[in-house]
A and B are shown apart, each in its own frame.
Chain A
Amino acid sequence: MLLKRLTEATGPSGFEDEIRQVIYEEIRDHVDRVYTDSMGNLIAEKDGTGLGPKVMLCAHMDEVSLMISYIEEDGLLRFRHIGGIDDRVLLAKPVLIGEGRIPGVIGSLPAHLTSSSDREKPVPLDRLRIDIGASTREEALALVCPGDWAVFATQYEPFGQGLAKSKSFDDRVGCAVLVEACKQEYQMPVVFAFTVQEEIGLRGAAPVAYRVKPDLALVLEGTLASDIPGTVVHAQATALGQGPALSLVDSSSIHSRKLRHHLIEVAQAQNIPYQVRNTTAGGNDAGRIHTVHEGVMTCTMSVPCRYIHAPSQVISLDDYNNTVRLTVEFLRSVERGGLER
């Protein structure tokens, strides 16, 4: 099952090896060429049959995760974030460390032994430790070392009604959309770019866009959905079950109105539900793509994810399928000449 394979694969920012290989094996038979650049971005090209604008679809392969920074004398591991994580989601969670997937747990002092005033404060990062079962530094070093990364040990499972939970839907769900889309045939040239290091500063996207020089770009993301108690509707960003979310403005881009209006036209013509992403918080690869060369018409479309950047994220499978549909129908519309240049 594609979403399971993609979300369970490991790929911290800068160490995307496993997910890159998984994606490569999914797409290699459906594209004309596939290669990597010096940062490890994965770029796949379908040449199409004829002319048309060169469209680039983009999703990032990396996930937020942790890195072991130091091994204490007592065998417990200190760690830091890779990407933006709220420390409060880390307490009492299991992780898998490195290529060997060494299991560990993030533990802390039990509530029984904590003062009531301390229980009201989050445990700071420099007091959290990963326990892999070692009692000394030497025992720990036999299994892990500083510089090893750790991902959440969450498994993919169907959830609730028509939903799914796993780690890293942000942005493996975007990668899945690209994989599904690349299995179709198109007339115009389409480039599928799987970028690295988005979570630590949108790092992979600009070198890719510089090399590819697309005429237009569509970024597929997993974005925040705060349709939960305590958020007013107009600050929710997105809601599960209302379809792919089209970005308006975020911290890295003012998205192309023209592209967004075209996506809306296609969605309406094909009866695909859609919503707008109503928050301006957060950034993504579109920010680095649209200012490359002499500018690229770019916009972002996302699958809503609850509990983003946390160990157990939730999406609606309808939203996912509708995002795939809208992406493919959008490409078909563009190659029919639907989008004036």
Chain B
Amino acid sequence: MKDLLIKLAEACGPTGVEDNVRDLLQALVTPHADDVRVDVLGNLLVTKKGKGAARKHLLLVAHMDEPGLMVNHIEANGFLRLAPVGTYETLSPAYLVGQRIEFPNGTKGVIGTSAKDPGDVTVVSLFADIGATSREEVLARVQEGDFCALHLGAFAVNEHRVVGKAIERSAICAAALEALKQLGEQEHDVTVAFTVQQAVGGRGAKPAAFGVEADFALVLDAVTAGDTLAASRSEIRIGAGPAIKLLDKVTAVRPQVKHFLIDEAEAAGVAYQLDVGLERSSEAGLLFAHASGLLAGALSVPVRYSASASELVDVRDIEATVALTVRAIHSFAL
């Protein structure tokens, strides 16, 4: 699990250009699926048929993207101008200064700023240096409209905990992949939707679900842990198991879904937490309210230092999320 997590974290998959991550997942998932396809927007949809006579269709959702930066202008002298896409739009741009970036084609660079003080850094003052000295030299490798993500190695800090960029999506995708592998023979049809563009408002999830006609969606997500020295009202801790989502920015989870997931966790002896955070809007809320509506719940892996270059996760939380997911799929009878 740690190796998979590190591989996924180091892959370059900025929101909108998730190709590299999708290719990686597609190779790993194909042996365990009956049907694999990629839709118009780039969602990877993987279906495993069930054996039951009265089977339902369950959707497991895991997003593949991480926050990214787009090249919106190439200067004559070879520097690039960048605009944040997704989560970074809400962070202070000073945070990005000095960070290393990577494009899906492997081109790498560093971010600088023309501002003198950290307090004066604006998006407009940022630029990227990929070592090119002219616009022509850049264009051989990067165009306007290309996306990059942070470039950082991921590593284990101890036996159970891993640090890296894009740890959230990596934990989520690793959990979905592992759950699919561990399913064995199951009663219901299961489709895993590895979605695109979660960071810009869940634009991939709705079209992905529309074609599936599922009876229930379980979204795998991440939740910010509040157990560091930073002041926080959040009760979420890493190492205490997946957080069952009760409420997010958009919707409240139906009581029968909440009770189903809690009951399954308790019966399986899986430690769990309860997430009443209002800061995030998850794909579960979006799918709940979309088109004909969908019964939806979410399990969130606790992550420290969310949306930073160094997110931290406990692998045991991912394993517990997998265990609860597999159990929920087998027991589903709502």
Contacts and interface: CB of A to CB of B under 8 A. Distances in A.
Please tell me whether chains A and B touch each other in their complex, using a CB distance cut-off of 8 A.
yes
Given A280-B72, A291-B207, A294-B207, A235 B39 contact: no
A249 B85 contact: yes
Contacts of B43: 295
B124 interface: yes
A233 B207 contact: no
Contacts of A254: 15-16, 85, 197, 200, 203
Contact of B83 (A249, A295, A296, A297): A249
B73 A249 contact: no
A279 B206 CA distance: 26
A291 B291 CA distance: 12
Contacts of B208: 294
B235 interface: no
Contacts of B73: 233-234, 278
B72 A291 contact: no
Nearest to B82: A234
Contacts of B84: 280
A257 B207 CA distance: 18
B288 to A, nearest CB: 16
Interface in B46-97: 70, 72-73, 75, 81, 83-85
A297 B70 contact: no
B41 A257 contact: no
B113 to A, nearest CB: 13
B144 interface: yes
A283 to B, nearest CB: 11
Contacts of A34: none
Contacts of A249: 16, 70, 83, 85, 145
Given A249-B16, A249-B85, A280-B70, A290 B124 contact: no
Interface string A133-177: 000000000000000000000000000000000000000000000
Nearest to B212: A294
A236 B61 CA distance: 38
Contacts of A279: 72, 83
B230 interface: no
Nearest to A294: B211
A294 B85 CA distance: 23
Interface residues of B, number: 26
Contacts of B200: 254
Interface in B117-131: 124
Contact of A293 (B17, B70, B207): B207
Contact of B124 (A234, A257, A293, A295): A234
Given A233-B73, A234-B72, A234-B73, A294 B83 contact: no
A281 to B, nearest CB: 9
B145 A295 contact: no
B140 interface: no
Contacts of B72: 234, 248, 276, 278-280
Interface in B9-45: 15-17, 39-41, 43
A51 to B, nearest CB: 19
Given A248-B70, A249-B70, A260-B145, A234 B81 contact: yes
Interface residues of A, number: 22
A170 B208 CA distance: 33
B269 to A, nearest CB: 40
A297 B40 contact: yes
A291 B145 contact: no
A232 interface: yes
B145 A248 contact: yes
A293 B85 contact: no
Given A234-B72, A249-B70, A280-B70, A295 B144 contact: no
A195 B197 CA distance: 26
Given A260-B145, A280-B85, A295-B39, A290 B203 contact: yes
A295 B85 contact: no
B144 A278 contact: yes
A218 to B, nearest CB: 15
Nearest to B15: A254
Nearest to A233: B73
Nearest to A248: B145
B138 to A, nearest CB: 14
Contact of B206 (A253, A278, A291): A291
Contact of A294 (B39, B124, B144, B203): B39
Interface centre among B15, B72, B85, B124 (most CB of A within 10 A): B72
A295 B70 contact: no
B49 to A, nearest CB: 20
A311 to B, nearest CB: 28
A295 B17 CA distance: 16
Nearest to A215: B40
Nearest to B205: A291
A181 B17 CA distance: 32
Q: Which of B83, B124, B211 has the most CB of A within 10 A?
A: B83
A208 B16 CA distance: 25
B145 A257 contact: yes
Contacts of B206: 291
Contacts of A235: 124
A280 B83 CA distance: 7
Given A257-B145, A279-B72, A279-B83, A295 B40 contact: yes
Given A278-B72, A294-B207, 11 more contacts: A248-B70, A249-B16, A254-B85, A254-B200, A254-B203, A276-B144, A276-B145, A278-B144, A280-B70, A291-B41, A294-B210
Interface of A: 232-235, 248-249, 253-254, 257, 260, 276, 278-280, 290-297
13 contacts: A232-B124, A233-B73, A248-B72, A249-B70, A249-B83, A254-B85, A254-B203, A278-B81, A279-B83, A280-B70, A280-B84, A290-B203, A291-B203
5 residue pairs, one from A and one from B, having the closest CB atoms: A234-B73, A295-B207, A254-B16, A295-B40, A278-B72
